[in-house]
Structure 1
Amino acid sequence: MTYRLRAAPDVQKIWDALPPALGEELTLALARVCEDPIATTEPYDDADDEQHVMRILHLPSVVAALLVLDHPVGIIRIMTITHLA
């Protein structure tokens, strides 16, 4: 199943404000996450259940916290994006 990506307007502004190369790197990484969110991210904490799973996407200069809403929803919500400048 391919997941759909969602982000609140304030998170989208952070994404849009990243330097172009980092924005592209994040975009490509999130595309891979939408195909397999568990294999492409790391656990956020131990409070996961079968329907809602918090995950972290670590890139060299960007970290994103993600909420994976599994079946039947199939949505990944970007909770935060942090630029590690």
Structure 2
Amino acid sequence: MSPIVVIGIISSLIVFLLVAGTPFKPVRIVGQVVMKVMIGALFLFFLNAFGGQFGIHVPINLATSSISGILGIPGVIGLTVIQTYILV
């Protein structure tokens, strides 16, 4: 799949979740968690796209996407440090 298609799908899902919303609290919480995981995957995608020039690669899976989505930029930096210095 092309990176443009992946970014387009993720962006449209994020916009849909932001605009549509839902009146049911449990569904809203699940939607927020899913949105954060997708944003985390997007963070990691950009890290891998731009960090590939420097030999930085963090795999994109549910665990790493959740960490980077919940913790944000510090989570991405932490995953990069772990991948670069501890797991190598």
TM-score (norm 2): 0.27
Higher helix share: 2
Higher RCO (CA 8 Å, separation ≥ 6 residues):
1
Higher strand share: 1
From the CA coordinates, give the structure whose radius of gyration is larger. 2
